[in-house]
Structure 1
């Protein structure tokens, strides 16, 4: 359910029209294995590979993980957020690729769990998220807003739920205003967390109707098929309750073997489909979670803090064990 801190094929060109304009570079050639998405040269796995070239695992991790497009997560560790985001999207623009970004700084993040933290106040968050959106500006990008923030509302007191929902609504509207060419998605939990009807209500309250859609399975392991079914149910619930449907994207970074019911560094999981445009169900399959980054001091990585890259976790995901 939760994400640790920090961190294709050309035939997919039948993506919806709104995506085609943004993703045209990825549809130019079937040989483009990255599908038009930006490969982060400074992702945690990329840095590890550069620093450990003599390690027997490095070649495998380079081929299967660090060379693939994945999200860059931004939070209170990122320094001045406007300039950090601007540098990242400009690098992607210069490469004519589409960057994937995650905003992860909501106050009370992760309900104080392994990835706890976030902005110190509601006003600090408003300032931060406005600067984040301004850092993107008119550049094209994919953005996932605050993984788990809506699904975890139940851990908050009633008055704090309202505060969080208002902050997410503010975030949606800031991206709409300040980053008009970005494809922006509220996080919508995963296939077994919150009933579809309730998630639709939460998404609507957070102004999902004013952005592109919602993201599913972030940092989790549920299959794409299960996520697609849930996404369709949420979209139908939005239509039934509020008169509009919304598209969705699915995090496939670790869902190759599906879920075993555990979320914190479970054994036996596997890399899923690389970031790509999808012709049915989700409109994009994305590596939102950085494969190999720990969820916390738990599971197969009991001494690896959240967001720390583990070559053992990465190798297990490559091999499915």
Structure 2
């Protein structure tokens, strides 16, 4: 840790100790099942839309199937002066109702690796100050904290020193929250079942201080089946136990996993469905809750601004039927993400490469772009039996890749290569990416084995 980071960590420890907590000596309560009713907040983006649009043909369905359910309250704006009161207001409302508040803390420095939900605290010192404010509003009763989605599973944009600093920041944040409210249940990021391997993810969790947390969460903003996530979680728990961290549990985001799986973005995919309703009654000793962490109907940042509520998405998730309207009177909302770039929907740009004898070809399609970045899908096809594939191309001037899904990225100089994940080596296959810079028309080279 640099001397500068040592300074902010020491200051954070001193601040919490002065408030009556002992951060570095905090020991979490034994992780276990949560019992009780999850809190349904009255003032949410979907509730506001329902109230503003009583005569819309979609309103009854969206109200009964989505707005009626508890979803997580996102803390995504790093406002040091108001965060404590925001948390206290929400938590006090849940306590008054005798229900369990669920908060998603989303403000880590270099959030989303500069992708569609970029933002966060300008530095880790201010991040810890923000966490102190959150901790001060948590109260004393049971509260669930989903700490920093993607912060551990997505580290491709960070240097080794930055990863270490982030791990230390997450560990300190966990201890700060637990010291302020020992009944708070804090869960760390474990990605999802089609991302990092369970062994790799467990190692990352240990480095980020999962021993001080109650467990980990998976599938946030994603679409993988609950059964796949449970199996993945058990593998992580086994790996954690082998590493000397026992008793950790899992929570699963089921907000959008009742239909098709596939790439992470659901803005223009009508095969998605809401999954199991939020509950703490999972019937599984390893799974503390099924939660709606990503509020259904809030966009991912592809066709719409990340975090904005879109009734067309909500209606499709709730019914499996395409939006019957062509326009909406709903006001623009920006929760949970408030710092996303404006996206556009350009005419797709595609390029193919099928060198003789490589056994496969690849087509890159730009699916959305914004000032300073773009998103693309790559379809990989071929003939014959394959167990693996790799697609390579030369990055353009100013381009860098911040995120890849359904594949593994390596870069060497200006050459980017994406290889299949462990589960999709057979063709056809697809992968997606988010990149900084201007979208171009690279020449793709595909090889299959």
Q: TM-score range by the shorter chain?
A: 0.7 to 0.9
1:276-287 alignment to 2 at 5 Å?
Answer: 276-277=279-280, 278-280=282-284, 281-287=286-292
CA offset at residue 320 of structure 1?
2.4
1:177-192 matches, cutoff 5 A = 177-192=179-194
Contact between 1:150 and 1:189, CA under 8 Å: does it hold in 2? yes
User: What is the SS of the residue equivalent to 1:285?
Assistant: strand
**Aligned twin of 2:164:** 162
Distance 2:248 2:92 in 1: 28
TM-score under structure 2 normalisation? 0.62
* Match of residue 270, structure 1, among 250, 268, 273: 273
- Work out whether residues 292 and 310 of structure 1, in 8 Å CA contact, stay in contact via their aligned partners in 2: yes
1:88 equivalent in structure 2:
90
> 1:121 and 1:110 mapped to 2: Cα distance?
15
Pairing partner for 1:207 from 206, 209, 213: 209
Which residue is equivalent to 1:63? 64
In the TM superposition, what is the alpha-carbon distance from 1:262 to its structure 2 partner?
4.0
Tell me the number of residue pairs that the alignment of Structure 1 and Structure 2 aligns.
288
State which of 137, 140, 150 in structure 2 corresponds to 1:138: 140
Q: Determine which of 189, 196, 199 is the counterpart of 1:197.
A: 199
In 1: Cα distance, 2:71 partner to 2:186 partner: 16
Following superposition, the deviation at residue 264 of structure 1 comes to: 4.3
| Aligned partner of residue 136 in structure 1, secondary structure | coil
Question: Helix, strand or coil: the match of 1:279?
Answer: coil
Please report the RMSD computed on the Cα atoms of aligned residues, expressed in angstroms: 1.7
Task: Considering fraction of residues, name the structure with more strand.
Answer: 2
Q: Distance in 1 between matches of 2:270 and 2:62?
A: 18
Higher RCO (C-alpha 8 Å, min separation 6): 1
More helix by share: 1
Gaps of 5+ in 2: 1-29, 322-449
Q: Give the superposition deviation at 1:100.
A: 0.8
Structure 1 gap ranges (5+):
1-15, 27-35
C-alpha separation in 1, matches of 2:31 and 2:207? 27
2-side partners of 1:246 and 1:18: how far apart? Answer: 8
| More displaced 10-residue stretch of structure 1: 132-141 or 282-291 | 132-141
Give 1:33's aligned residue: none
The normalised TM-score by structure 1 is 0.86
